[in-house]
Structure 1
Amino acid sequence: MYRGGEGQWAYYLHRVSGVLILLYLLLHATELTAPLFGSDFAASVAGWFQTASYKLLRLLAIGAIIYHGLNGIRIMLMDFTSWGTKIQKYAWYVAVILFLLMYIPIINSQLPAIFNLGGR
């Protein structure tokens, strides 16, 4: 299963998406606790949350959440069913296709707003 191919990619992407989600949660915790460290620090943190780099990171975090959730369902099928390991390769392709179907519209709606191209 993890000897290259789809299973290996699913493994790596699941780990990377989990780390991205963790980093985003740490940033969110920083935002919530920033007022405890003074108004100057809170203002600088709030200012950073309005930058394009943060908005791109947020867009990546959304993608990580979507992929991590869909791949998690695939992993549960492999772990809790007798037939899950037989279809794991096809289930990964289904997860990737569903990811793209969910994520591409989000990218299309958010990128113009991030780069001030007339979006929301």
Structure 2
Amino acid sequence: MSTATTADTSLEAPRSSPRKRRTLYRGDPGMWSWVLHRITGATIFFFLFVHVLDTALVRVSPEAYNQIIETYKTPIIGLMEAGLVVAVLYHALNGVRVILIDFWQHGPKYQRKMLWVVLAIWIAGIIGSLGVIGMHMAERFL
């Protein structure tokens, strides 16, 4: 026979420390590189999809194709092109890092160092490529 009442069983035992909030994303640099790799991959896929569609349009209606190509000559599309360069550069560099992690026996050991090298090369590449893109955009729009 049980002597516990309903009031006794509904109380939680006291905790020595506050409950830790568990989340899926903990903010580790490797996790963020994974997320950025997926985002850049989806961005590149979307660009390629649009590119194939607008190129196929030339066979359907050359006039419509010419109109769409004219809309691509705006400053907003120029900024999107710069963003595409940034996305492709990161996706390519991080892809090489992922290949090294998977196929090099010391890859997992050095994966974090390789991430920082990828980020350094990526930032240098952004500075260089955006400088060139900026000069071309200035010539086109100013």
Could you list the structure 1 runs, at least 4 aligned residues long, displaced by more than 4 angstroms after superposition: none
Residue 39 of structure 1 and its aligned partner are, at CA, apart by 3.3
How many residue pairs were aligned? 118
- Bigger shift: 8-17 or 44-53? 44-53
Residue 82 of structure 1 and its aligned partner are, at CA, apart by 2.2
Residue 3 of structure 1 and its aligned partner are, at CA, apart by 5.1
Distance 1:111 1:19 in 2: 25
1:41 aligns with 2:100: no
Q: Match for residue 24 of structure 1?
A: 47
Distance 2:42 2:120 in 1: 22
Please give the per-residue CA displacement for 1:8-56, whole angstroms capped at 9, x wherever unaligned.
1110110011011111112221231122332332122111121112211
Distance 1:8 1:83 in 2: 20
Gaps of 5+ in 2: 1-24
1:83 aligns with 2:112: no
Larger Rg belongs to: 2
Q: Match for residue 82 of structure 2?
A: 59
1:10 aligns with 2:20: no
Distance 1:50 1:118 in 2: 9
Gaps of 5+ in 1: none
Structure whose residues are more often helix by fraction? 1
1:109 aligns with 2:129: no
- Bigger shift: 41-50 or 66-75? 41-50
Q: Match for residue 94 of structure 1?
A: 117
**TM-score normalised by L of structure 2:** 0.73
- Bigger shift: 66-75 or 105-114? 105-114
Q: Is the 8 A contact 1:34 1:45 kept in 2?
A: no
Secondary structure at the counterpart of residue 67 of structure 2: helix
Q: Percent identity?
A: 25
1:71 aligns with 2:85: no
Please give the per-residue CA displacement for 1:67-118, whole angstroms capped at 9, x wherever unaligned.
111101110111112211111111101001011111211111212433x368
Output the amino acid matched with 2:29: E
RMSD: 2.2
**TM-score normalised by L of structure 1:** 0.85
